[in-house]
Structure 1
Amino acid sequence: MDSVPPKVIVDIQKFTVMGISRRVHFASEANPETNMYIRTFKEYFEKKISETIPNRGIPGRTYCVYYDFKDVQDKSKFTLQILVGELVTKVDQIPEGLATFDVEDATYACFKGGPGSIPEAARDTWKKLYLIKLDEWGYKRSYKTEFELYREGQNDIGNMEVELHIGVQQIQN
């Protein structure tokens, strides 16, 4: 049985990620044949996309950013955008096939997981979110930006550690 993760709330300043971006339909993710998350990670690592990113801030540190959440309450319609890439120090050019996203200043609940293969290590870490009650921490999920962080030196999607950051807002009394 998984134990309840410790309360870790952090404020993170704005940063920009460049990489490959895809639209994810939540209902399709359970099927390995249609799982866009897995396909995007495989493409990113197999094609060595990181090597095409200019102005890399921390080479080898990979982010999977979740944003543009739609129909969150209806799992059959729920979609979001993901971007797998790296932090960049500036954006003066965007190579063909790549995209950028600005992760704005925000407060995050953080969870650590792995080591394990992707997507299992990430999925197991996401499950930790459901072991807690954010409202008991004085927060609610913002559904603005969330991200997974894979520290530099991890190039084998069969054996990775993950840090999950869930955007939260303080509950106003």
Structure 2
Amino acid sequence: MGRFLLELLKIVLVTALLLVISFGVWIYFRGTQPMDIPEARGITFWQFIQDRWNATQEADTRVSALPQYLGCRNDISYYFPLNLRGSFNFAYASLNPDSKLAYAFKYWEEQKPDEVLPKLKPVNLSGVPDAFWSYFERAYWRALVSIDYMAAECKLGPVNFDGILAGK
């Protein structure tokens, strides 16, 4: 009996590892495609993240020189778990439009409309990855570009499209 449970545990762990690896490969692949945001001008998600990372480093260098500031928070790392969870929730709500979670998304779409985040619409199982990715990339765009004005001294500034598009 103990040997059977050990083998079952191995199968579960290998399956979980394969799922995590395939999810990582999928995220990498989707990040190499142009963003589905008109303001992004066709840059890829990874180009966008690289630009924001460089802007974060510049802002941190600039702000660290000021005596009253310790430095800037890296919002790319900070928003990753939040955007990941939000994307899973949005994908679930899209798949189950009658769930409480879907009603919560619809409530906020009506009460505080946001032109950057995608609108909830019912999808079938094959549309869940697109719903997930749409929310994920748009949530990052919203956090790192649209509401970056709230960062005060740590503001990242506009996306360097000239530098990104010249590198293509």
TM over 0.5: no
The structure number with the bigger radius of gyration is 2
TM-score (norm 1): 0.26
| More strand by percentage | 1
TM-score (norm 2): 0.26
| More helix by percentage | 2
